Amino acid sequence: MDESLAENQNENLIVPETEVNAINPVLNDLEQDNQLNVFPDSSTIGNAYSADLDLAIENGHTIKVMWSTLCISGPSGSGKSSLIELLLGKEPLLTHTSTSVLGAIESRGFTLLLITDDINCTWEEIQDIKGLLCEALRSGAITPLPNGEDRFDFSFEALPHSFSYACYNEVLSKAITSPVSPIVEDMRCLLQKQSVSHFVNAPPTYHFVSIIDTGGHEAFFDIIPALHCYGSANIVIHKLDEKLSSKVFSFYCLEDEIIGEIEERQLTNQQYLVSSIRSSTSINPPQISGFKTQLHKFQSQIIVGTFSAEINQIESLIAKNSILRANTINCEHHISLNGKNLLFPINATARDDYHSQIATEIRKHVCDSYIEADVPLKWFLFLLHLQELCIGLCIARKADCIEIGSLLQMTENEVEAALLYFRDVKMILYWPYALPQIVFLQPQYLYDKITQLVLASFLNSHKHFENKGIKLHLDILAEYQDKGIFSLELLHSICEPFNNEDFTAMELLQLLKNLVIIVEIPHLDGDDMHFFPSILPILSTDSDEFETLQKEYTEELEPLILSWPTRINPQGLFPALIVKLLNDSQPHLFNLKPECRQYRNAIQLECVAYRGSVLLVDTVYNVEVFYDSGRRSKFDKWISSHVRESIFDEVRSIVSQFHYDDRLANPVKKFVCLKHNEYTKHYCIITKNNRLSCERDKSVMEISQFNQNPWLQKINLDITDLNYPLHLLKEFTIHWNRLGLALGLTQQTLDIIDHDHPSRSEECFRICLQKWLEKSDNVHIVTWVSLADALFPFNDNTNWVNQL
């Protein structure tokens, strides 16, 4: 954290001089029996309110807390950190180069005492949790449970739905209203003199905001959904002195030092902006149930144009606003701070009245969306004890958490509920489904490890590691940079400086696999190898290499296009889809295609179970799926329906795990429009009656039976599918008896067919296929794959194959 952040203290904290010796007997016994301090020492807190707080905890009091999340995205060096300083009312970071990848600034929590549309809200830090609680007690924010309840229902069915997965180092802060109204000032004077039992007015609510800087690299965008499941506000930054059509330049920075060379990424500024908007259009808000929580409003999107000097290109600004509006029309939660403009200009280094007003408006919009909850004070005490016990450590074991909870008379279910809550509000990092035995009290410790793994993918990164005393084999590093494949040796080398008894490289590996960030893949040498698709370089879709790659996959079938209502691909879905398809839970479906150069936006997979290969392309606005059967038999292209179904299954799985909007579970299927190929590339939507509707002029056309229709077939055929296979096989010259045997029917069944329909070859062919579809003679599998397998031995003897 910036040292300047630590300098801000809570100037409004009034410490009474009264000394009270009465201490909660239950917590006092805990101190004596277990030598565990009730609170960390705090010179700013009077004993009177400490004692009152102990009593409030014993009596099951709660504190009302609201929580908002602000995520700031933008290319390297675009002014994200300076914008954050502007929001905090601090001086700009003039010497700051760029935030490290995944080394995002520490999350900051802010307490909001009062906010209305006409009050200038500012954020001010408070670093002492106990100080926060004691002030809440003094102000009346702490209230007893209603109806004499002594505890919440902490059954797992009643736990709040998780809405976020990531956090960074947490600094609790306090926001005050400025200027302070006379009423508020009088209230503070009253609170100085009155004990908490005399306070009867409506108590303030404490509002926390977590600010996250993504660091600018595309790899972080890919893994955000695995780490953050919900953000209430999102700011995307664009440098106004760059064109939307120009390529983004990216660089890796550690401790304000650029590592390696500045690279031109194969991504335009417009694509970067649209991609960044994913985080506010794809993720579901949390499902509130069982716990005393309430969701207020939904995500909001703010697009900021930054510059470091005067900007006079008004026409350029207007044009950029028009382009962004046209490309984000379905993003419903934009915040416009300047008339109808989505993109408005600010100088992130300026501190005049205009920029102060902008900062105020942004803070208000951020605080408009939040999660509200009545949190038991005992949970805060649990967190304080946990931090005290593990002082100097970055993690705690789940067993330690349970032990501390038992000292506070918390059941294991209650401990789990507290951990989930503090994880959701980004005070700790905890994944019970991915790494259930570890709680990250200092989450940046984990992200430093992931940062090193991302850094190793950069060219010339070995120089950085050498300076750190880490030796990496260049051939292993080269394979990682070219193909995204790394060995355990590389992981152990990178993680060696971080290794300790509490968290190992193997546990990091387990976590990344369970979070769908990396996947284990088979290797010729038998060694454990893993694939990290998010760190791969991007292939320009305008390049000759991409054009050649497409041609290799379009000789048999047109690509199947998958799109979503958001008009852009859900954030992080594409790399997660690749990981899921390669997952070792289905080892015989897909492998990485050997000896192929892989890209972050263009992945080639080998279809192990289905034969052939698949090319998946992320165009930002949709996913294009290409299939090449390998031309073993042209009938094999109907296997593409199996490929389609596998992809859809994994998309549904990702939507569930990442808490995407449920509407994203079934992408819209399209094909490239071939009727109007003289125009810019556009698509045809597949209608309910299996026809194509052009998105450009709404004209309707038929689906191509041989170049498009194979994608759309059911994978499991049944008797209702009889006509379509017969149509495809009408030119088949093989005797129906031989086909029946190849499909698995017995000679006895075929003899009966021949006896019932003598000299009627066409009818025998129909009945033979019908028996197969009915699974006669213990036929187990009736799919396009099994039909293709049955026909393969006769491939050279068929006329129809050559005519397809």
Higher-scoring residue by pLDDT: 174, 483: 483
**To which residue do tokens 């052939």 refer?**
612
- Per-residue tokens: 663: 């509407």
DSSP result, 168-191: ---EEEEB-BSSPPHHHHHHHHHH
Higher-scoring residue by pLDDT: 313, 302: 302
**Angle at the Cα of 800 from the Cα atoms of 797 and 804, rounded to 5 degrees:** 130
Residue-level pLDDT at 618 = 92
Note the pLDDT tens digit of each residue in 116-127: 344 557 776 655
Count the neighbouring beta carbons within 10 Å of the beta carbon of residue 403. Answer: 14
CA-based torsion, 316, 317, 323, 327: positive or negative: positive
Count the neighbouring beta carbons within 10 Å of the beta carbon of residue 696. Answer: 13
DSSP result, 556-594: S-PPEEEE-TTSSPPTTHHHHHHHHHH-TTSTTTEEEPT
Which region among 98-102, 478-482, 519-523, 787-791 has the lowest average model confidence (pLDDT)? Answer: 98-102
End-to-end CA distance of the chain: 65
Residue-level pLDDT at 53 = 55
Give the model's confidence band at 54: pLDDT under 50 very low, under 70 low, under 90 confident, else very high.
Answer: low
Q: How many CA atoms lie within 13 A of 564 on its CB side?
A: 29
Note the pLDDT tens digit of each residue in 537-568: 888 888 899 999 988 888 788 999 999 887 77
Residue-level pLDDT at 116 = 38
Which SS3 state, helix, strand or coil, does residue 555 take? coil
Share of the chain above pLDDT 90, in %: 10
DSSP result, 323-337: HHHHHSTT-TTB--S
Rounded to an integer, what distance in angstroms lies between the CA atom of residue 515 and that of residue 518? 8
Residue-level pLDDT at 249 = 78
Compute the mean pLDDT over every residue in the chain, rounded to the nearest whole number. Answer: 71
Residue 588 has pLDDT above 50, yes or no: yes
Note the pLDDT tens digit of each residue in 689-736: 888 999 888 899 888 877 888 888 776 666 666 666 776 666 556 678
Is the pTM for the entire model greater than 0.95?
A: no
What does the pLDDT average to over 613-631? Answer: 88
**To which residue do tokens 């930002």 refer?**
620
CA-based torsion, 230, 231, 235, 237: positive or negative: negative
Residue type, 536: L
Rounded to an integer, what distance in angstroms lies between the CA atom of residue 721 and that of residue 784? 11
